[in-house]
A and B are shown apart, each in its own frame.
Chain A
Amino acid sequence: MALTDTELARRTAGGKMKRKISEYFSYYLLLLPFVFFYGAFTLYPLVHGFIVSFYDWKILGEKQFIGLQNYIKIFHDSVFYSSMWHTILFVLISTPVIVVAGFLFACIVHQPLRGKTVYRLVFFVPIVLSVSVVASVWSAVLDSHTGMLNSIIKLFGSKGEILWLSHPTLAWLAVIVITLWWTVGFNMILYLAGLQEIPDELYEAAKMDGANAWKSLLYITIPALNRITVLITFLQIIASFKIFSQVYLVTQGGPAGATRTIIQYIYEEAFKKYSFGPASAMSYIFCFVLLIISMIQLRISKERE
């Protein structure tokens, strides 16, 4: 039974169509779990939070639409401004410190030193500790009466006890040191990956031309790591903006709110005072700030390419 040409074409086209539909179907099936969980636990809360930010929303569920009043209230709230300012201050100070330290640490362990694996391990190990352990350890270290740091300082002849966590500037210094100690390993690892990709020939050529170590650092290493520095800097800015747990657990935002950050304020509004409306509005403002930073990052990394 020979099929005519048109018959054959029609049949294969029909088969193709069918195959295509069943292929779509399998792809949708593959996507289904991700789309479901993403929709339910990311998109829906995101939209719902936006709605809540226009309501006077109490813990027990009584709610009243109040338009922009939550936002207006926030813009007249001095604690919001101070928390935002603390956060920005922390970003401005911690970002260069932790990025540069990560770079220097990576440079140290990249050198052919004896025992460099040990150094690398030690610089990196705090990363795997959970924040509550880090906070508990450092609270003990910085304790004014029994702490390790003051005991060591006493050894050098100081009589008085330094109240590390009771003075705003010292408390911030402590927070920065703790964050550095805890997270610098992450930046170090990223920089180390970057350093390992720079071909040795570049350094050899520079040496032939009479460049010293300082010059090759300045003219080879740093430019070669340009792309990764942009990446690390923005990762650090975003991570620093989100600072909450180590501060909350070590200083509780004290002394007198001097180290309260924006996430802590959102947390307190939402889960201590249960005023969900203002907390949601603040979350959106916070989200908006981070979005702008991400946009800048996209822009810069696009330009570099």
Chain B
Amino acid sequence: MKEKKLNTGRILLYVCATVITAVWLIPLLWVLLISFKPSGSGVISIETWFTPPFSHSNYIYVFNNAPILLWLWNSTFIAFITTILVLLICSMAAFAFSNGRFPGYSPMFWVILAGLMVPGEAFLVPLYILFRDLGMLDTYQALVLPHIAVPFGMILLKQFFDGLPKELYEAAKIDGCGIFRLLFVITLPLSRSALAALGIFTFLGSWKEFIWPFISITSAEKMTIPVGIPFFNSEYNEDVTIPMAANVIVSVPVIIVFLIFQKQIVKGISFSGIKG
């Protein structure tokens, strides 16, 4: 009796899982399929999806008419630089707050903690004015600089550093190890998991950022993927298959990287999400 009940339950689970998987995947597979339909061949019904002509002409068109590889490079480069700087700057500050007692500790810490609650979307206007006054609108710096001193990252690392055994430091201090050496030789190598988590979270956040690059970047050769794609697509309102080829081009590398590092990415996100 019980065995049977369990079975219907499991069958139900399988059905649910399969249906959701199908719903989640079908739009992506459809996009992949129609991206191979030559522009103008009329994708209007299910029969037309599967009947020839097929060709890779859309892909050639995208490569010839949009600096799409440059956008991929820009996105990667900016996400990479942002991640490195976040890890460096946040771990330095986190180390100071985790191990140091110095005048001004708590006011500084509270001001940074308060920053956790401030949505970045709330100061787009002053940020725009600031970068305009600095003459740095439409530059890579504009995309990196506002995102490197993040309270979230600092506090995440501080919590992790707080959990490391203090005896390690005492021994090293007696050996005459300076604070900077303590951080780089002892703390950071022990914090690889936290650094990886924050790094992945930061990289993904920077890679996916839309609104600020959308406002601050205006020239095509400085664009990142999230801004470049709508910029390119807006010129092809009538034909859907060319933009789909562009979507495939920018998404395939990301999905491949995701499949390779999925364990680390999932871990990084759950670590950052729960601790943050």
Determine whether B60 belongs to the interface, using a CB cutoff of 8 Å to chain A.
Answer: no
Determine whether B264 belongs to the interface, using a CB cutoff of 8 Å to chain A.
Answer: no
Q: How far does the Cβ of B176 sit from chain A's closest Cβ, in whole Å?
A: 12
Interface residues of A in 153-201 (CB under 8 A from B): 154-155, 181, 186, 189-190, 192-194
With beta carbons under 8 angstroms apart, the residue of B26, B128, B247 that contacts A136 is B247
Determine whether B46 belongs to the interface, using a CB cutoff of 8 Å to chain A.
Answer: yes
Q: How far does the Cβ of B236 sit from chain A's closest Cβ, in whole Å?
A: 10
Chain A 28-68 near chain B by CB (<8 Å), digits 1 or 0:
10110111111011111110110010000000000000000
Determine whether B269 belongs to the interface, using a CB cutoff of 8 Å to chain A.
Answer: yes
Is the CB–CB distance between B125 and A283 below 8 Å? yes
Measured between beta carbons, the chain A residues less than 8 angstroms from B115 are: 38, 42-43
Interface residues of B in 232-260 (CB under 8 A from A): 233, 240, 243-244, 246-247, 250-251, 254-255, 258-259
Contacts known (A24-B103, A151-B46); A130 close to B208, Cβ less than 8 A: yes
Q: How far does the Cβ of B109 sit from chain A's closest Cβ, in whole Å?
A: 10
A49 to B128, CA, bound (A): 10
Interface-facing stretch out of A6-14, A71-79, A89-97, A111-119: A111-119
Determine whether B93 belongs to the interface, using a CB cutoff of 8 Å to chain A.
Answer: yes
Q: How far does the Cβ of B116 sit from chain A's closest Cβ, in whole Å?
A: 8
Is the CB–CB distance between A30 and B21 below 8 Å? no
A167 to B5, CA, bound (A): 44
Chain B 109-120 near chain A by CB (<8 Å), digits 1 or 0:
001100111110
Measured between beta carbons, the chain B residues less than 8 angstroms from A130 are: 207-208, 210, 225-226, 229, 250, 254
Is the CB–CB distance between B259 and A24 below 8 Å? no
Q: How far does the Cβ of A277 sit from chain B's closest Cβ, in whole Å?
A: 9
Measured between beta carbons, the chain A residues less than 8 angstroms from B81 are: none
Interface residues of B in 192-233 (CB under 8 A from A): 204, 207-208, 210-211, 214-215, 225-230, 233
The size class of the interface chain B forms with chain A is 35 or more
Is the CB–CB distance between B145 and A155 below 8 Å? no
Measured between beta carbons, the chain B residues less than 8 angstroms from A44 are: 126, 130
If over half of B's interface residues share one DSSP class (helix, strand or loop), that class is named, otherwise mixed; here it is: helix
With beta carbons under 8 angstroms apart, the residue of A118, A152, A244, A283 that contacts B123 is A283
A24 to B, closest residue via Cβ = B102
Residue contacts A-B, CB under 8 angstroms, 17 given: A27-B100, A35-B149, A37-B148, A42-B115, A44-B130, A45-B127, A121-B259, A121-B262, A123-B24, A127-B204, A131-B208, A133-B250, A140-B31, A140-B34, A213-B9, A270-B124, A294-B117
Q: Point out residues on B near A: beta carbons under 8 Å.
A: 5-6, 9-10, 13-14, 16-17, 20-21, 24-28, 30-31, 34, 42-46, 49, 88-90, 92-93, 95-97, 100, 102-103, 108, 111-112, 115-119, 121-130, 145-146, 148-149, 151, 154, 178-180, 183, 204, 207-208, 210-211, 214-215, 225-230, 233, 240, 243-244, 246-247, 250-251, 254-255, 258-259, 262, 265-266, 269-270, 273-274
Q: Point out residues on A near B: beta carbons under 8 Å.
A: 23-24, 26-28, 30-31, 33-38, 40-46, 48-49, 52, 105, 108-109, 111, 113, 116, 118-119, 121-133, 135-138, 140-141, 143, 145-146, 148, 151-152, 154-155, 181, 186, 189-190, 192-194, 212-213, 228, 231, 235, 238, 241-242, 244-245, 249, 263, 266-267, 270-271, 276, 279-280, 283-284, 286-287, 290-291, 294
